[in-house]
């Protein structure tokens, strides 16, 4: 058996959301974005350690909220301050992994409605492949590549594209090693992992794992909650 840690990155400012609060502390239907995400994380039987990476200025709020949702699992909750970039925030989480952990999932707090089944699929695929696993969805729009002037250069074959979500899962030692080698700032963990020459494969994502980024996403989240709490 292997032991799983889930790092929930929640330290972003949420500039594109345009709310006064950091994004993780914005409410949807009476609960914050971070609370919605953690409710699903703590429903997993498999998560031995949950690490919340929170805005430095709101560490106490994040800790109180995480411990309340963890309930009996509070002993295995660690709350740390994030950094200026997502990559630095993930590194802050990696620094506090418990010794027994051998599978690490990294999850965006802003993907608050990601179903438990998506976490379970990623965990089981990491265990069976020993490589990096990311959830992805087929791309619905036609995608164009532009030149530097903004003129369309070509249409990208969308049958070869996926839009990538979280949680992204990895064997612990390989992920730590990949982060130690990362020479630039990447937008997801799989890019850090792949830059170290390690294999990443895709499992089916879920539309409910969309990332709350703009006001439009916030309204979508409110309407999903209003229909039936997923």
Residue 100 near residue 48, CB atoms below 8 Å: yes
Sign of the dihedral through C-alpha 58, 77, 193, 95:
positive
- Member of 4, 5, 7, 23 binding ligand C5P (CB under 6 A): 23
Element (H, E) at 180: helix 172-181
Shortest spacing between CB 200 and ligand C5P, in angstroms: 18
What the block records as the tokens of 3 is 């032991």
* Per CB under 6 A, 77 contacts ligand C5P: no
- Member of 94, 110, 125, 164 binding ligand C5P (CB under 6 A): 110
What the block records as the tokens of 213 is 């980024």
* Per CB under 6 A, 185 contacts ligand C5P: no
Select 127 or 211, whichever has its Cβ closest to ligand C5P.
211
Question: DSSP labels for 40-104?
Answer: HHTT-SSEEEEEEEE-GGGHHHHHHHHHHHHGGGGGGEEEEE--SSHHHHHHHHHTT--TT--EE
* Per CB under 6 A, 11 contacts ligand C5P: yes
Rounded CA gap, 154 and 146, in Å? 7
Residues 6+ apart with CB under 8 A from 3: 48, 49, 98, 100, 101, 102, 103
Token look-up 């619905």 returns 140
Shortest spacing between CB 159 and ligand C5P, in angstroms: 26
Piece of 78-86, 97-105, 129-137, 222-230 that binds ligand C5P (CB under 6 A): 78-86
Select 20 or 127, whichever has its Cβ closest to ligand C5P.
20
Q: Find the residue with minimal CB distance to ligand C5P.
A: 12
* Per CB under 6 A, 220 contacts ligand C5P: no
- Member of 32, 109, 114, 168 binding ligand C5P (CB under 6 A): 109
- Member of 44, 82, 97, 121 binding ligand C5P (CB under 6 A): 82
Q: Binding residues for ligand C5P, per CB under 6 A? A: 9-12, 23-24, 53, 82-86, 89, 108-110, 211, 213
């Amino acid at each position: 058996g292997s032991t799983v840690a889930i790092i929930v990155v929640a330290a972003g400012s949420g500039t594109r959301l345009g709310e006064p609060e950091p994004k993780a502390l914005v409410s949807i239907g009476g609960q914050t974005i971070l609370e919605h995400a953690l409710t699903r994380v703590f429903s997993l039987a498999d998560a031995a350690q949950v690490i919340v990476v929170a805005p430095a200025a709101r560490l106490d709020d994040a800790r109180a909220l995480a411990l309340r949702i963890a309930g009996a699992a509070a002993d295995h909750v660690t709350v740390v301050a994030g950094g200026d970039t997502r990559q630095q925030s993930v590194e802050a989480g990696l620094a506090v992994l418990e010794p027994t952990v051998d599978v690490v999932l990294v999850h965006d707090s802003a993907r608050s409605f990601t179903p438990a089944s998506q976490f379970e699929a990623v965990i089981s695929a990491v265990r069976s492949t020993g490589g990096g696993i990311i959830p992805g969805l087929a791309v619905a729009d036609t995608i164009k590549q532009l030149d530097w002037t903004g003129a369309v250069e070509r249409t990208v074959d969308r049958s070869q594209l996926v839009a990538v979500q979280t949680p992204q899962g990895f064997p612990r030692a390989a992920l730590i090693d990949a982060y130690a080698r990362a020479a630039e700032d990447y937008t997801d963990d799989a890019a850090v992992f792949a830059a170290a020459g390690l294999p990443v494969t895709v499992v089916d994502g879920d539309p409910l794992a969309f990332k709350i980024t703009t006001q439009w996403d916030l309204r979508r989240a409110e309407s999903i909650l209003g229909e039936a709490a997923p």
